């Protein structure tokens, strides 16, 4: 009988390695591509030269490092998250099972990358033994465009440890809020325009915008006449979210956005574009915990966004019903439920590989 041993490999340690290390039990072995300061500096210098020639020296070294790591460890099962390492794993002729979690909004990526994305997926689609998917649309993309068998998919939502907090406090000022990266694809400009129009009608409102301060510099002067609070990015979103009456996410592309889950965890209804898995995230057996906004020409429809924000203020009974549905919606993201589902699927492939 084999002894179960788990190793976590961090692909880009410089971005999130310390946070990942601190989140795991000390008994979990963590490996990563990491060089000392001198070799890191040297590698970036070389990479700056090769990048001009269309070649990433850093990625080349990272790929070689990763392949040697996989070959040396002789895994039975690898659970991977990311197109890059899906491609690398598919290139290795090794007797191991590969279970990949899909985090991408493929429809959006295809609009940006076209045939390049198709070729990348074709490089690994048939080699992956099983896909864990977060969004129904991601699953259907692979089935319809790459003929992946439906039996190779299992849906498992990400798990969260947020304690459920029922927020009943009546706030004097109705507060809309959004937390996202400071990038145009999140729909900030549409949100600011909709809020400005709403403020003409209703003065007792405010908007908390939490994201990239550098990006916000493009809007601060333009919207200084309306009560928008521009706040830099934060690693502690909950204190802000608990000040919201409604969370807003007019993004043009998502898979399973954490912000929606964080709002549900605090009984905050959501106004969001109908992208990725958002509709299913805010839907439970008894109703919905938010309002969906359609995309028009690939962007959030400004009029629909304004109407949804206005509706949340003007219809108190309907708004309270949305709040009532947040708790059962958040239950879908229970951490224990997620862990048990992953354990069952990975154990299944460990046994399959042993045979």
Which pLDDT score is estimated for 227? Answer: 97
Task: With beta carbons less than 8 A apart as the criterion, state whether 199 and 225 touch.
Answer: no
Which pLDDT score is estimated for 137? Answer: 95
Regarding beta strands 7-10 and 29-32, do their DSSP bridges make them parallel or antiparallel, or are they unpaired?
Answer: parallel
Per-residue pLDDT at 72 exceeds 60: yes
Which pLDDT score is estimated for 353? Answer: 61
Q: What is the DSSP letter of 77?
A: E
Which residue blocks in 24-127 are alpha helix, DSSP H? Answer: 37-51, 57-73, 83-91, 106-113, 115-124
Residue 290 CA to residue 248 CA, distance in Å, equals: 10
Which pLDDT score is estimated for 54? Answer: 86
Who's near 268: CB < 8 A, 6+ residues apart? 167, 241, 244, 245, 246, 247, 323, 326
Which pLDDT score is estimated for 1? Answer: 45
pLDDT band at 15 (very low <50, low <70, confident <90, very high): low
Which residue blocks in 74-134 are alpha helix, DSSP H? Answer: 83-91, 106-113, 115-124
Average pLDDT rounded to a whole number, residues 275-285: 96
Per-residue pLDDT at 30 exceeds 60: yes
Which pLDDT score is estimated for 2? Answer: 54
First to last CA, the chain: 12
Domains of the chain, earliest start first: 7-159+334-354 (3.40.50), 174-333 (3.40.50.2000)
Q: How many CA atoms are closer than 13 Å to the CA of 17, on its beta-carbon side?
A: 13
pLDDT digits (tens, 9 = 90+) for 73-97: 889 999 998 898 899 999 988 889 9
Per-residue pLDDT at 146 exceeds 60: yes
pLDDT digits (tens, 9 = 90+) for 178-216: 999 999 999 999 999 999 999 999 989 999 999 987 899
29-33, 230-234, 276-280: the lowest-pLDDT one = 29-33
């Amino acid at each position: 009988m084999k002894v179960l041993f788990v190793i976590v490999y961090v692909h880009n340690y410089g971005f999130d390695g310390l946070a990942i290390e601190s989140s795991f039990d000390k008994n979990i072995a963590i490996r990563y591509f990491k060089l000392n300061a001198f070799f890191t500096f040297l590698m970036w210098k070389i990479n700056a030269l090769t990048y001009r020639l269309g070649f990433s020296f850093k990625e080349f070294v990272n790929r070689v490092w990763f392949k040697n790591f996989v070959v040396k460890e002789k895994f039975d099962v690898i659970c991977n998250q990311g197109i890059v390492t899906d491609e690398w794993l598919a290139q290795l002729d090794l007797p191991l099972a590969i279970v990949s979690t899909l985090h991408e909004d493929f429809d959006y990526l295809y609009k940006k990358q076209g045939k390049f994305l198709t070729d990348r997926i074709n490089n690994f689609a048939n080699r992956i033994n099983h896909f864990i998917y977060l969004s129904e649309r991601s699953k259907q993309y692979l089935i319809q465009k790459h003929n992946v068998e439906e039996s190779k998919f299992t849906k498992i939502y990400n798990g969260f440890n947020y304690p459920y907090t029922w927020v009943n406090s009546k706030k004097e000022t109705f507060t809309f809020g959004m937390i996202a990266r400071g990038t145009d694809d999140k729909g900030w400009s549409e949100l600011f325009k909709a809020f400005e129009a709403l403020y003409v009608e209703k003065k007792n409102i405010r908007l908390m915008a939490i994201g990239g301060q550098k990006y916000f510099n493009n809007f601060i002067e333009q919207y200084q006449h309306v009560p928008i609070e521009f706040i830099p990015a934060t690693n502690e979103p909950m204190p802000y979210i608990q000040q919201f009456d409604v969370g807003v996410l007019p993004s043009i592309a998502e898979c399973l956005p954490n912000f929606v889950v964080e709002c549900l965890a605090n009984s905050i209804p959501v106004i969001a574009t109908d992208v990725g898995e958002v509709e299913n995230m805010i839907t439970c057996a008894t109703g919905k915990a938010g309002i969906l906004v359609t995309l028009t020409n690939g962007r959030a429809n400004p009029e629909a966004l304004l109407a949804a924000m206005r509706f949340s203020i003007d219809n108190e009974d309907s708004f309270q019903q949305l709040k009532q549905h947040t708790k059962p919606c958040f239950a879908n993201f229970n951490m224990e439920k997620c862990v048990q589902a992953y354990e069952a699927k990975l154990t299944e492939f460990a046994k399959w590989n042993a045979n």
